[in-house]
Amino acid sequence: MNDVNSRMLRKLGNDEAFYFFTAIGNYTGQSASSLEEFLNRITEIDAKSLEFHLFREDFEKWMSSTIGDARLAESIKLLRAQKASGNDLRGRLSLLVSKRLKELKSASNVLEGKKQTKKKKAFDGR
């Protein structure tokens, strides 16, 4: 796995996790410590929390600065500009994140396969 993908797919510590609120001071009790956990949480969390964070730009900031995925942050920015809300927001956000997660995992698997081939060639003396 290359450094960029491994950074985006890594599990974070509690200090870098995303904490879901429905309003300032109203914590839902849910958090996400990875992109995969984030996807799982947005499929089940109250849509009010998704709206709260989307319009505050929290998702974009976390994706960009903590996860390190400017591309996904930009996609979320476009979603915010479309003023999605409720279950429409949930579905569209889930789709964006799941597609990006698949891309990252697929790229990581391809790179890992190439590394294994190089190691085998080096071991075999080729």
Instruction: Report helix, strand or coil for 22.
Output: strand
Residue 24 to residue 83: CA distance in whole angstroms: 20
Q: How confident is the model at residue 110 (pLDDT cuts 50, 70, 90)?
A: low
More confident residue, 32 or 13: 32
Q: Which tops the pLDDT comparison, 28 or 125?
A: 28
CA–CA separation, 14 vs 12, rounded Å? Answer: 7
For the entire predicted model, the pTM comes to 0.80
Instruction: State yes or no: pLDDT of 117 exceeds 60.
Output: no
CA 70 to chain centre: 11
- 85 pLDDT more than 50: yes
Residue 1: pLDDT band (50, 70, 90) is very low
Number of folded domains in the chain? 1
The percentage of residues in the chain with a pLDDT greater than 70, rounded to a whole number, is: 80
Q: Provide the domain limits for residue 22.
A: 3-124
Q: Residue 86: exposed, middle, or buried by beta-carbon count in 10 A (0-12, 13-18, 19+)? A: exposed
CA terminus-to-terminus distance, the chain: 23
